[in-house]
Structure 1
Amino acid sequence: MTEQSMPEVNAEFGAYPTIDFTGSAPQGLRVLELVEGDGPLVRKGDTVTVNYHGVIWGSDAPFDSSFDRHQPAGFAIGVGQVIKGWDMSVPGHNVGSRLLISIPPEYGYGSQGVPQAGIGGNDTLVFVVDIISTR
């Protein structure tokens, strides 16, 4: 059995994410706070502004990245506007935090995946998320 561990990621808030995979994807939803921010706490129902970089476990190429667009994204968190893995992992962290989130299919896009984005139904998603603001 291969060791299940989170990938290595550069821990500098605001820096373009580099993700280095070893081993197989961990079971379940996993969140690592790489940088602890000292801003306001994100609460369920807040509107957050984040920069994020999403890849399929083991892949170098992002399927979606606000870093690549040079445009942060904003949305309500914890209320079903984004995938369940985000709703469950972003609240409770402070503005200024960099998170590394591993999201299994059941908390991502489910067994149907998102074929047009190259996401299969069994793919574990990995996101690096910089929390810029909350209100």
Structure 2
Amino acid sequence: MGVVKQQIQPGDGQNFPKTGDTISMHYTGHLETANGEVFDSSVSRGTPFETPIGVGRVIQGWEEGVPQMSLGEKALLTITPDYGYGAGGYPPVIPPNSTLVFEVQLLAINNRRAQ
């Protein structure tokens, strides 16, 4: 499966991140379990996450899911273990072979902010 994107709120439909672009986004990540435990959130820290996309700095699920989003879009990215942290997980926060669900909002691409 890899990564599945479910749109929550549309973006501008015109501006999509390309390989090497620096993106700014808010996210909340939780395990796809009965209790849906949140393991990380830029929203709760109050600071958007910034990273270049498509250059291997984030999990494969983000590398493939975020470029499908347009500027300003909010979406759920459901990421299978092979596109997340795999068989090793990310102890103690993420157990091995965990499916991850991220609510992501693409706030900016190369400092161009959503309207």
Q: TM-score range by the shorter chain?
A: 0.7 to 0.9
Question: Counterpart of 1:49 in structure 2: which amino acid?
Answer: S
Question: Counterpart of 2:28 in structure 1: which amino acid?
Answer: H
- What RMSD over aligned residues (CA atoms) do the two structures have, in Å? 1.4
Question: Counterpart of 2:102 in structure 1: which amino acid?
Answer: F
Higher RCO (C-alpha under 8 Å, 6+ residues apart): 2
Query: How far does residue 78 in structure 1 lie from its aligned partner after superposition?
Result: 1.2
The corresponding residue for 1:126 is 101
Distance 2:107 2:66 in 1: 12
Which runs of structure 2 are paired with 1:2-21 in the superposition (5 Å)?
none
Compute the TM-score of the two structures, normalised by the length of structure 1.
0.75
1:116 and 2:86 aligned: no
The corresponding residue for 2:22 is 47
Distance 1:80 1:33 in 2: 24
CA change 1:88–1:132 in 2 (3 A) is same
| Percent of aligned positions that are identical | 38
The corresponding residue for 1:56 is 31
**1:84 aligned residue (60, 74, 93):** 60
SS in 2 for 1:67: helix
Q: Which structure carries more strand by proportion?
A: 2
CA contact (8 A) 1:42 1:91 kept: yes
Query: How far does residue 120 in structure 1 lie from its aligned partner after superposition?
Result: 1.3
The corresponding residue for 1:30 is 4
CA contact (8 A) 2:85 2:97 kept: no
Q: Which structure carries more helix by proportion?
A: 2
CA contact (8 A) 1:43 1:92 kept: no
Q: Give the length in aligned residue pairs.
A: 108
Query: How far does residue 28 in structure 1 lie from its aligned partner after superposition?
Result: 3.7
Unaligned runs of 5+ in 2: 111-115
SS in 2 for 1:90: helix
Unaligned runs of 5+ in 1: 1-26
Query: How far does residue 76 in structure 1 lie from its aligned partner after superposition?
Result: 0.6
Query: How far does residue 43 in structure 1 lie from its aligned partner after superposition?
Result: 1.4
